[in-house]
């Protein structure tokens, strides 16, 4: 087994501060060193908003839960600018338009086995065979194979200039061979319990109510300060806020805006996020199939009033598919062109739907309903649980839909969400948009290489989408967390992939 002193390993947070080049290579600097962690501190008590829905499978919604608790990692991570940064891969280079070679760092799985090229290749191969496919691999055919003692070669059937960013997706976490192939289970059901690589290891899970995590002392990034995590899954936002106020938990994520005022100011932490609340308009059927009526809906919306009234300032007014938490957007934003002239609604009747899983959305919908009615629409509002709403929304059974979408959660690539949400063949096309100009703009962005050039192409595609009035951005949300005043190092990640790390402590 390969071993390396923990004190000589690079701390993960140091890696996140580095910036790569997408089209060439990314290498960690020479002479890397680690803080080695600190003395063993108290366990952290954490309240999370969403319980595991798929028995902690890394291929679905639970993938982000695992990364937020510091359990799983991928070959890469995302830095503050949304670019790929080292994680289990310490460097990489592009060999040709379809092939990348990754150099692995020395690391150990939580079951004590080595992170080897063969193990990493097997983990990625299992992910490619999962059904449904992990979102980060949507539309991508990937093969991975070992290359020497510490190398991995990844090949795609079509050129993929953002593969290092894609491999940072939480659903592409690397698990040990022990996680896969249990009797009676296929590649879609691996377990991360004791098989991941992060600084914390799940040692006990109580269904959807709680989980116990202990510190993984052989973590390549150094010892975590906290000796473990006691996680509770608390769906009710008021209950999460109360738990912070009474001192029952140290950290509570996703504090509802309505509850923020009930907490002492020193216990509130906030940060920008890439999550945008938007109004999606059905472009294919019903009254809003008319571009002129979509334009009327857009001009009726006052997003500033929404931010002040509903979000109480914990958001920024909607300006596009991407908001200010995406650091490069504002300097590259392209003004939409070719918008239809707004027509008079004359009482046109529409159904507006949203879901109650996020407590602010029904209130947002009520304000939007009032604004549309003031403009001359007749609006029926429907609120359901998301699981009972998604199928009907995708089938176009509503004229308008309000949802909150983290635009960079899955791949970190701005082009990816534009393709999935606004092209003819997009799998999450709530607006049911099928526009030749939009499809051309997105296709051009998909094929664009180079970081700056791809960002420019993404902004051109965003402008084409906004020009159809298929979507009306309402607010770019901010993360609100309740954090005890004696806790330090909470990770308020704009991509919502991290919460607790090696430096989080009390």
Ranges 3-7, 64-68, 191-195, 466-470: which has the least confidence: 3-7
Q: How far apart are CA 430 and CA 112, in angstroms?
A: 45
Residue 117 has pLDDT above 90, yes or no: yes
Q: How far apart are CA 308 and CA 413, in angstroms?
A: 30
In tens, the pLDDT along 230-280 reads: 999 998 999 999 999 999 999 999 999 989 989 999 999 999 999 999 999
Residue 128 Cα distances to 115, 119, 139, 341, angstroms: 19, 14, 11, 46
- Give the CATH number of domain 6-27+53-197: 3.90.76.10
pLDDT for position 412? 81
Identify whether the C-beta of residue 175 lies closer than 8 Å to the C-beta of residue 196.
yes
Q: Could you tell me the pTM of the whole model? A: 0.81
Q: Which two tokens stand for residue 463?
A: 């402008």
Q: Identify the band that residue 182 occupies on the pLDDT scale cut at 50, 70 and 90.
A: low
What is the CA 469 to chain-centroid distance, rounded? 25
Q: How far apart are CA 284 and CA 385, in angstroms?
A: 24
- The CATH architecture one would assign to domain 273-478 is Roll (3.10)
Average pLDDT on 186-203 reads 86
Domain with CATH 3.10.105.10 in the chain: 273-478
Identify whether the C-beta of residue 196 lies closer than 8 Å to the C-beta of residue 69.
no
Average pLDDT on 443-459 reads 90
Domain with CATH 3.90.76.10 in the chain: 6-27+53-197
Give the number of other Cβ atoms within 10 Å of residue 103's Cβ: 20
């Amino acid at each position: 087994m390969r071993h390396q002193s923990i004190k000589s390993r690079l701390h993960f947070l140091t890696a996140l501060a580095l910036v790569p080049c997408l089209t060439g290579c990314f290498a960690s600097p020479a002479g890397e060193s680690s803080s080695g962690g600190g003395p063993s501190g108290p366990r952290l008590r954490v309240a999370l908003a969403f319980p595991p829905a798929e028995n902690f499978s890394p291929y679905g919604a639970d993938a982000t839960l695992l990364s937020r608790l510091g359990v799983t990692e991928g070959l890469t991570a995302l830095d503050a600018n949304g670019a790929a940064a080292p994680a289990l891969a310490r460097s990489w280079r592009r060999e040709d338009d379809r092939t990348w070679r990754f150099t692995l760092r020395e690391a150990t799985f939580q079951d004590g086995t080595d992170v080897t090229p063969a193990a990493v290749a097997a983990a990625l191969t299992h992910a490619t065979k999962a059904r449904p496919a992990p979102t980060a691999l949507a539309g991508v055919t990937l093969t991975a194979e070992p290359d020497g003692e510490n190398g991995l070669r990844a090949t795609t059937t079509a050129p993929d200039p953002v593969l290092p960013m894609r491999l940072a997706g939480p659903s592409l976490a690397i698990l040990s061979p022990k996680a896969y192939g249990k009797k009676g289970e296929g590649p879609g059901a691996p377990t991360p319990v004791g098989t991941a690589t992060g600084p914390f290891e799940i040692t006990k899970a109580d269904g959807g109510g709680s989980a116990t995590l202990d510190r993984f002392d052989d973590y390549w990034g150094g010892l975590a300060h906290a000796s473990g995590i006691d996680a509770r899954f608390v769906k009710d936002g008021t209950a999460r806020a109360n738990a912070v106020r009474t001192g029952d938990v140290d950290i509570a994520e996703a504090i509802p805006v309505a509850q923020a005022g009930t907490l002492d100011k020193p216990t509130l932490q906030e940060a920008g996020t890439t999550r945008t609340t938007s109004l999606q308009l059905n472009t294919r059927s019903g009254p809003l199939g008319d571009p002129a009526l979509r334009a009327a809906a857009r001009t009726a919306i006052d997003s500033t009033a929404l931010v002040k009234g509903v979000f109480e300032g914990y958001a920024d007014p909607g300006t596009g598919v991407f908001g200010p938490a995406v650091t490069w957007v504002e300097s590259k934003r392209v003004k939409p062109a070719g918008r239809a002239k707004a027509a008079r609604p004359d009482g046109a009747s529409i159904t507006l739907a949203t879901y109650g899983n996020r407590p602010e959305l029904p209130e947002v919908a009520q304000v939007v309903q009032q604004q549309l009615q003031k403009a001359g629409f007749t609006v029926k509002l429907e609120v359901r649980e998301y699981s009972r709403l998604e199928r009907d929304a995708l089938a176009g059974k509503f004229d308008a839909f309000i949802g909150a979408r983290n635009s960079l959660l899955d791949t970190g690539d701005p082009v990816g969400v534009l393709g999935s949400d606004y092209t003819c063949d997009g799998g999450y096309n709530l607006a049911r948009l099928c526009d030749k100009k939009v499809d051309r703009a997105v296709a051009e962005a998909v094929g664009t290489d180079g970081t700056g050039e791809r960002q420019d192409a993404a902004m051109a595609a965003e402008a084409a989408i906004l020009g159809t009035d298929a979507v009306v951005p309402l607010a770019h949300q901010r993360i609100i967390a309740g954090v005890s005043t004696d806790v330090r190092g909470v990770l308020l990640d704009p991509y919502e992939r991290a919460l607790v790390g090696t430096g989080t402590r009390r």
